[in-house]
Structure 1
């Protein structure tokens, strides 16, 4: 089941005896866990029927004993195990999974790694409950996720604002969701659209100096603007990590290389092939005029080289300001 399907079934009160929530993206795990904790039981039922355990403090036997209790004055009890990835012998939970109580809803929050599918436990959970595995979103998936999350909060978001948010906040969905929640509160119900200006004002992103503007300066070969931005980055390396800048530019030039070799360069085909919002197709059209295929390949190689240098490999200096100056000069010339 997908994340959306699990939430839909929970809202319809279609409960399973075990929810094993695992994987690399903790936001999905937290959302499902919190929904079950907040909504399955009434406030009066929670006092006797909601148990929260922490993996670093318990054993499998503690989980089994809690799960095998019967609810008090309620059709269900909820047992939530947080930080379950800290339990070394999680596969031993199969002793309970073989015959789980239908009156218990057991939630295992097993973050940052998958459950080994070779365990008998995995097969038991798949047959009797829900085994849900999350994966980190790719960078090109973040703007779409942001748009969907904002719509769920009753807001539309400008594509440029969505891209700026993803590049500035990073790929942590919890941080992105918190940023959008902050925007929703700040803008109120009377403002239906989140714009770049709203993101810059409320999330603390510099209007002039960010990776989005640097990318724009490079693709248009605006050397003066690019130098202004990297000078600001060099003065504040903690706020503007060079690795994030390199990753952003690497993603752009990789897509630009794909663009050069597309047989169909119509806007719809470009957007579909590069997995970008149609709003940004013109950026690639403009960049292709300034950077031919050979130069794009060279730039991708340069970005790989400076990614290694930024981490201390084959570099006499790891000073962020100097590396950025060298990098941007080589990319644009």
Structure 2
């Protein structure tokens, strides 16, 4: 079952006896758990009928004992198991999952791990509960996730905002959501569209000096702007990781090479194949005009070389800022 379907059922007060929430992305696990904790029971019933335990401090046998208790003056009880990945064994859950208490909502957080579908526990969950695997989103899908998150809160965003946030905050959805929540609190009431100016003013990410603007300048072979951005990066090394910058440039030029060989270069189709928003296609079109396929291959080779240098595998005396300036010169000339 998908995250969206689980949340839809929860909002319609359709609860299952067991939720086994596994996988690499903690954000969706946290949101499902928080919703159940806040809505499954009325507030006055939670002190007696809602328990939170931690995998490192308990055992599956003890959790089953809790789950088999009857609620006090309530139709249900909620048992939340956090850090269940630290439990020494899951075997004790097997019998319980084959016949779970209808008056208990058992929520098991099994972060950063998954269950094999060959296990009896997994098969029992399929019959009597919900097994949800929370998968990490690919970085190129984060901007769309940001757009949908804002939309769910009644906001929209200008093109480029999602990419700007992704480049600086990465794929940590909890961190991104936290920054967006803080932003929505401070935005004036009549402003429902998030802009790059808002991101700079309230989150502290420069709308002028960032990896998105750098790759855009490189695509157009704008030597002046490219050098100005790289100089700014070099002057503020704590704010700009060369590793992230090299990754952003590699991402852009590797996709530019793919674009070169597309038979259908219409914006919508090319954006679909490349896995990006169609708004960004203008940069890939510019790169195709300014760089031959052979030059793009040379650039990708250069990026691998400078990635190795920046990580110290090849001894160099240059600082990260100087390495970046050298690389940008070779890309543009």
Provide the TM-score with structure 1 as the length reference: 0.95
Structure 1 partner of 2:160:
160
Tell me if the contact between 1:20 and 1:107 (Cα under 8 Å) persists in the aligned partners.
yes
2:74 & 2:156 partners in 1: Cα distance? 41
Structure 2 partner of 1:80:
80
Consecutive unaligned residues of structure 2, counting only runs of 5 or more, are none
Q: Over aligned residue pairs, what C-alpha RMSD do you find? A: 1.5
Structure 2 partner of 1:105:
105
Structure 2 partner of 1:14:
14
Consecutive unaligned residues of structure 1, counting only runs of 5 or more, are none
CA shift at 1:141, angstroms?
A: 0.4
Name the SS of the counterpart of 1:22 in structure 2: strand
Structure 1 partner of 2:138:
138
Structure 2 partner of 1:267:
267
1:253-300 CA-partner distances (Å, limit 9, x unpaired): 121111111111122222222222221211111111111111112212
CA shift at 1:238, angstroms?
A: 3.1
Structure 2 partner of 1:127:
127
1:323 & 1:65 partners in 2: Cα distance? 60
1:239 & 1:115 partners in 2: Cα distance? 39
CA shift at 1:119, angstroms?
A: 2.0
Q: Does 1:67 align with 2:67?
A: yes
Equivalenced residues, count = 333
2:185 & 2:245 partners in 1: Cα distance? 30
Moved more, 29-38 or 210-219: 210-219
Q: Does 1:281 align with 2:274?
A: no
The 3 A distance-change label for structure 1 pair 115 and 239 is farther
1:131 & 1:225 partners in 2: Cα distance? 50
2:255 & 2:322 partners in 1: Cα distance? 27
Structure 2 partner of 1:5:
5
1:53 & 1:238 partners in 2: Cα distance? 39
Tell me if the contact between 1:143 and 1:159 (Cα under 8 Å) persists in the aligned partners.
no
Structure 2 partner of 1:49:
49
CA shift at 1:317, angstroms?
A: 4.4
Moved more, 312-321 or 224-233: 312-321
Tell me if the contact between 2:9 and 2:15 (Cα under 8 Å) persists in the aligned partners.
yes
1:38-81 CA-partner distances (Å, limit 9, x unpaired): 00000111011000011111111221111111111111100001
Structure 1 partner of 2:169:
169
The 3 A distance-change label for structure 1 pair 89 and 319 is farther
Moved more, 170-179 or 29-38: 170-179
Name the SS of the counterpart of 2:238 in structure 1: coil
2:236 & 2:102 partners in 1: Cα distance? 55
Tell me if the contact between 1:23 and 1:110 (Cα under 8 Å) persists in the aligned partners.
yes
1:177-219 CA-partner distances (Å, limit 9, x unpaired): 1121122112143112111111111110123211111112211
1:70 & 1:140 partners in 2: Cα distance? 47
Q: Does 1:96 align with 2:89?
A: no
Tell me if the contact between 1:55 and 1:81 (Cα under 8 Å) persists in the aligned partners.
yes
Structure 2 partner of 1:319:
319
2:319 & 2:121 partners in 1: Cα distance? 50
The 3 A distance-change label for structure 1 pair 11 and 258 is same
The 3 A distance-change label for structure 1 pair 251 and 136 is same
Q: Does 1:330 align with 2:326?
A: no
* Displaced runs of 4 or more, over 6 A: none
Structure 1 partner of 2:255:
255
1:156-182 CA-partner distances (Å, limit 9, x unpaired): 111211211111111100111112112
Tell me if the contact between 1:157 and 1:195 (Cα under 8 Å) persists in the aligned partners.
yes
1:64 & 1:33 partners in 2: Cα distance? 18
CA shift at 1:228, angstroms?
A: 2.3
The 3 A distance-change label for structure 1 pair 80 and 300 is same
